[in-house]
Amino acid sequence: MKQEKIFLTAEQAIGLLSNEEDIHTFRSWTGILIGADWSRNELIRSFQSAGNEDIQIGGDQCKAMGHGLVLFTGNDPLFIEVDKEKLQKLEDELLGLN
């Protein structure tokens, strides 16, 4: 069963980030996971310049890995580490589950 895509605004995405200076991310490149830290400010700038469908909540697998925020910056999506509880709360609100 395919999951419904849940698109986020830049403000919603920023609210999911930790207050740490560096935030862990990863990309899946030809089946290999490549991790890297991005600065919080760089992620915020990327969210603010993203299109309407470029930021979304990821699927179950990336959420289980703690990287449930997805930013499309080209061919390969960037999976971003967020607070799981904040993400679940926002997802529930957007789906009308609470």
Is 19 a domain residue? yes
| Mean pLDDT, range 36-56, rounded to an integer | 95
Is 1 a domain residue? no
Domain containing 78: what range?
6-94
Is residue 21 within 8 Å of residue 40, measured between CB atoms? yes
Predicted pLDDT at 9: 96
Predicted pLDDT at 10: 97
Beta strands 55-57 and 69-72 are antiparallel
Is 61 a domain residue? yes
Is 50 a domain residue? yes
Is 31 a domain residue? yes
Residue 93 pLDDT level (bands cut at 50, 70, 90):
very high
Q: What is the overall mean pLDDT for the chain?
A: 92
Q: How many structural domains is the chain composed of? A: 1
Distance of alpha carbon 79 from alpha carbon 56, whole angstroms:
10
Predicted pLDDT at 1: 52
Residue 30 pLDDT level (bands cut at 50, 70, 90):
confident
pTM exceeding 0.85? yes
- Res 7 pLDDT > 90: yes
Is 13 a domain residue? yes
| Mean pLDDT, range 65-84, rounded to an integer | 92
